[in-house]
Amino acid sequence: MENIDSSAEHAAVLRTEAEKRSKATNAWIDRFEPDELTPMAVRQAFNELHVHQIELEMQNEELRRAQLELDMARARYFDLYDLAPVGYCTLNEQGLIMEANLTAATLLGVIRGVLAGQPISRFILKEDQDGYCQQRKQLFATGETQSLELRMVKKEGAVFWVQLQIAAAKDEGGAPVCRITLSDVTARKMLESELVIMAHVDTLTRTLNRPAFLEKASREIARARRTGMQCAVMFVDLDHFKSVNDTLGHSVGDELLKDTALGLAACIRETDMMARVGGDEFLILLNDLESGQGAQYIAERIREKFNAPRLIAGNDLFITASIGIAVYPHDGDSLEDLLKNADTAMYAAKESGRNMFRFFDLEMNKNAVTKMQVERDLRGALDKKEFVLFYQPVVNVADGRVRGFEALLRWFRTGGGLVFPDEFIPVAEETGLIVPIGAWVLDEACRFGKQLVDRGFIDLVISVNISVVQLRRKNLVDIIKSALDQNGLRPELLEIEVTESLCIESFDAAVEILKAISALGVLVSLDDFGTGYSSLVHLQKLPIKNLKIDRLFINEIAKESDENAMIPAIIDLTHKLKLGVVAEGVETGIQLEKLAANRCDYYQGYLFSKPLPADEVIPFMEAHNGKQG
């Protein structure tokens, strides 16, 4: 625009200069009287006129060049005006479009020619028209440029976001007009919207995340307090989810979580809310309940839905859920209390066998407090040297000689007396404390095994139980090797016992680690056989030397029952696999007779001996076996 104004100004100056020269020439000629027009004067006049004419032609040529530059500048201006990345419109005082550039027409999805005379408000979304009108009025009232973001509608109906700037101006006649710039900001608004969603939504399952859930749930509880209605918090945790990640990979695990979110959403009402708050943990808030039965109904729907195989990424998965429920106001007056109590109830469902739901009660809370106390004391037990190992003999059924000892962990809590493994081992596994405790057990058992060797009992095998948490650690093999090397115990005198359920949960990973342990020369046994769902294929792939029959079967051996009939079959199958059989929990002579009749290899139990403290083992061995050489 500045170039156009400069060219026009230059042309005007040239015109004025030419007019001045023409007038000067005429004035010079007019001063002569007719009798003074001598030939000499006429020649002089014509010469000067010729010079003026040449100068005038030069000025005319310069004027033509200036006009051409002016026309080119105007063309460039209108090209830039039309092709600008933003739309430009000029509106009269009534808001009608006087002119618009090509970009504005393209944004609105119309031909530029039809815009003239149209009200700009025609293209503004109805819900945003009031905001535009207020800004335009304020512009004419104050003269200050106004800026706002609103939604406009193309001719075909598509809605898009624009940033609108309105500036006051005057037309050539001095009438007030306004000039508008339109910038398409749809992409930015969509990004902002996505960022808002990301701040409140779990990106994987598209459910609420924890902060958003806590904020909304707090409002719902406050509303329930005002209305007198009940609401409930449900804590949902998938059973054995980690085994899916470990065996099938995290991508399948992610698909399972997305499918779980869809399944839960199908079980709750539109007014309820749900969030994913952890790896495989979901929170649900059920509002406007008349009683806890509404929560029970939804929990039953969830169980029913998840009690069927699900096809996830080409895999048939049977993954159930454990659910804890806390009801407002019975189980807590605040969201914090409800969350804590629902979590407690969920763990109670896990401990009861999984695939079920539990309502919170005070007894459950009491147990949770006790559990917290156990965890707190457990953290300092190693440093305080409160753990000891007891040793229960494993005996040959045929000749009554001791094959070895199973190392059994006991905790003598300071000020609290003896704590049995059933009370603290689950807590140790949940907290990860079982890892350092397990390492201590291995080292202590190897130390004691070497002590037996040094006393002349050179063939006694020390058995140590390994938990699932330890088996998942990649350094387990190194820990075992270190315990053997540091204590100088031969590998064949150490036996590692793993539970049947442990192997099933992460079978392929367990096989690899157990093979590495077996490669050290350490024996491997399968404990608690019969309590899980082992198949013959599993048994054939595991590098085990012995199989332990769970005491539940031994208790039934003297009875006429299906369990009694299974014992001979288990022993026979195990022998065909070239494995030894150990019976646990043998307490009566009749049980031992039955085991002997069915060719069981070894047994342990109170019939022969209770677990012994370390200082009683050697005297016990000298009394029953003599020195084994």
Neighbours of 226 (CB within 10 A): 7
- Report whether 82 contacts 103 (CB < 8 A): yes
Indicate the pairing of strand 523-529 with strand 546-549: parallel
How confident is the model at residue 283, as a pLDDT? 96
Helix, strand or coil for residue 467? Answer: coil
* DSSP result, 5-46: HHHHHHHHHHHHHHHHHHHHHHHHHHTS-GGG--HHHHHHHH
- Report whether 442 contacts 462 (CB < 8 A): no
How confident is the model at residue 397, as a pLDDT? 95
- 108 alpha carbon, distance to own chain's centre: 41
As a whole number, the mean pLDDT across the chain is 84
Q: What is the CATH number of domain 201-360?
A: 3.30.70.270
Q: For the whole prediction, is pTM greater than 0.75?
A: no
Q: What CATH fold (topology level) applies to the domain 87-190? A: Beta-Lactamase (3.30.450)
- Report whether 213 contacts 273 (CB < 8 A): yes
How confident is the model at residue 266, as a pLDDT? 94
- Give the residue carrying structure tokens 């609105």: 108
From 3.30.465.10, 1.10.275.10, 3.20.20.450, 3.40.50.1950, which CATH number describes the 374-624 domain? 3.20.20.450
Closest listed residue to residue 391, CA positions, set 176, 611, 572: 611
Q: List Cβ neighbours of 505 (8 Å cut-off, separation of 6 or more).
A: 240, 243, 468
Distances in whole angstroms, Cα of residue 8 to Cα of each of 68, 294, 546: 10, 83, 106
How confident is the model at residue 70, as a pLDDT? 62
Cα–Cα–Cα angle for 587, 590, 591, nearest 5°?
A: 55
Q: Which two tokens stand for residue 530?
A: 């019969």
Indicate the pairing of strand 580-583 with strand 546-549: parallel
89 forms beta bridges with: 100, 180
Neighbours of 266 (CB within 10 A): 10
**Packing angle between helix 210-227 and helix 186-200, nearest 10 degrees?**
70
Label residues 202-222 b or e (16+ Cβ within 10 Å = b). Answer: beebebbbeebbbebbeebbe
Rounded Cα distance, 151 and 186, in Å = 9
Neighbours of 159 (CB within 10 A): 10
User: Three-state SS across 82-151?
Assistant: HHCCCEEEEECCCCEEEEECHHHHHHHCCCHHHCCCCEHHHHECHHHHHHHHHHHHHHHHHCCCEEEEEE
How confident is the model at residue 278, as a pLDDT? 85
- Give the residue carrying structure tokens 């306004």: 178
Q: What sign results for the dihedral spanned by CA atoms 219, 225, 231, 232?
A: positive
How confident is the model at residue 140, as a pLDDT? 73
Q: Which two tokens stand for residue 195?
A: 């960022």
Neighbours of 361 (CB within 10 A): 16
446's enclosing H/E stretch is: helix 434-454
- The domain locations on the chain are 2-83, 87-190, 201-360, 374-624
pLDDT along the chain (629 residues), means of 10: 53 63 62 60 67 70 70 59 77 85 85 83 88 82 82 86 87 82 87 75 90 92 90 94 87 94 94 92 93 87 90 90 93 92 91 87 73 85 93 95 96 86 87 92 97 94 92 90 97 91 65 92 86 60 88 77 72 90 93 93 95 95 66
